[in-house]
Structure 1
Amino acid sequence: MTVTNPARPGWGDAWTVDDLQALPEDDQVYEIFDGSLLVSPHADVFHGAIANRLRRILDRQAPAGLLVGQDIGVSAKRSSYFVPDLFVARESALASGGAALDPSDVLLVVEVISPSNAGRDLVLKRHEYAAAGIGRYWLVEPRKQTLTVLANGPGGYREQALLPVGEIYRTDEPFPLALPLADIF
């Protein structure tokens, strides 16, 4: 759901990352696209389980200096802010203590596709993350039990691989890893 006319001080102005600090801590995920507030419910248990399994696998293989994280937003530009299901970033980026990660510090974002927000992950975030210069974008599709691996280049993200549940994804980006897809679904 998109909320563009919430009651708040300065109504009529574009939303910024700073405005999010005044919102309630509830069961919603708040993001911003081009100054408009986007509100979504938190993920269900199945969605969360997939994200957590994937995070554990990435954590075990991530080298020192890289952080695999959740629940921290990425400021795609001043008027856009997204909260990926998972990310890999330079650990030094956390020292700034800002409201969001700078996309130049983010090496990978991962979204677990929810039926209610599929368009946001497949189109909107894909475009915005690519425009922000984030090198890798993974799309995990629970219903199909697939992983789509996208790499950023001229013209945006291009599909590098589409892997079904029985495969093991091996890569050197964002760090050397072997990911058995059966372990996340």
Structure 2
Amino acid sequence: MTNPAHPGGGVWTVDDLQDLPEDGQDYEIFDGSLLVSPHADVFHGAIANRLRRLLDRQAPPGLLVGQDIGVSAKRSSYFVPDLFVAREDALDRGGPALAPADVLLVVEVVSPGNAGRDLVLKRHEYGVAGIPRYWLVEPRKQTLTVLEQAGGAYREAAVVAGTGVLRADQPFPLVLPVGDIF
């Protein structure tokens, strides 16, 4: 759902998010418009948490696998990925959101009600922002799609099904049995 009406009549910015209520909704901003979604369900959260644990075990010092922190390429767009990998020192700078230059990977668990946002909108925006990798986890298909930066957009590098294993060198060397996240 989009709510373009800003109480002050302008466009929504990252700074406006601090004034929104904690009401069980997730708030993001795209090009100055507020995007409102219901908070993820238990199954969605379980997948994100399983994947986070698998990545945490393999992440080297200096990199952080995190959740619940937004990424903002510009003041009028702000997204909160289900997971991210970032340089740990970026968190020491504070501020309302991570800069894309500090983010090595964003991960979205695709929800049926928000699939277009993850598959199209965020894919485009994360790509334009220069984030090197974008993973899409699709619970219904039990797949993990690996997208890599290619000139301001993403190209599909791999699709790994539930019984497969992702072996990657980036954002750090890892071996990920995809079935372990479902």
Smaller-chain TM-score bracket: over 0.9
SS, match of residue 99 in structure 1 = coil
Deviation at 1:25, TM superposition (A): 1.2
Aligned to 1:101, which of 78, 98, 102?
98
SS, match of residue 121 in structure 2 = helix
Deviations for 1:49-88, whole angstroms, at most 9, x for unmatched residues?
0000000000000000000000000002221000000000
Over the residues paired in the alignment, what is the CA RMSD in angstroms? 0.8
User: Which amino acid counterpart does residue 16 of structure 1 have in structure 2?
Assistant: T
Report the equivalent of 1:67.
Answer: 64
Q: Does 1:2 align with 2:27?
A: no
Aligned to 2:88, which of 77, 91, 95?
91
C-alpha distance in 2 between matches for 1:72 and 1:26? 17
Q: Does 1:156 align with 2:156?
A: no
Deviations for 1:124-174, whole angstroms, at most 9, x for unmatched residues?
000000000000000000000000000001251000001100001000000
Contact 2:129 2:152 in 1 (8 A): no
SS, match of residue 146 in structure 2 = strand
Task: Give the 5 Å matches for 1:25-64.
Answer: 25-64=22-61
TM-score scaled by length of structure 2: 0.98
Report the equivalent of 2:172.
Answer: 175
C-alpha distance in 2 between matches for 1:26 and 1:92? 31
TM-score scaled by length of structure 1: 0.97
Give % identity: 77
Query: Which residues of structure 2 form unaligned runs of 5+?
Result: none
Q: Which runs of 4+ in 1 moved over 4 A?
A: none
Q: Does 1:114 align with 2:87?
A: no
Query: Which residues of structure 1 form unaligned runs of 5+?
Result: none
Deviation at 1:40, TM superposition (A): 0.4
SS, match of residue 43 in structure 2 = helix
SS, match of residue 32 in structure 1 = strand
Deviation at 1:2, TM superposition (A): 0.7
C-alpha distance in 2 between matches for 1:157 and 1:127? 8
Q: When the two structures are aligned, how many residues end up with a matched partner?
A: 182
Contact 1:108 1:136 in 2 (8 A): yes
C-alpha distance in 2 between matches for 1:76 and 1:49? 28
Contact 2:130 2:152 in 1 (8 A): no
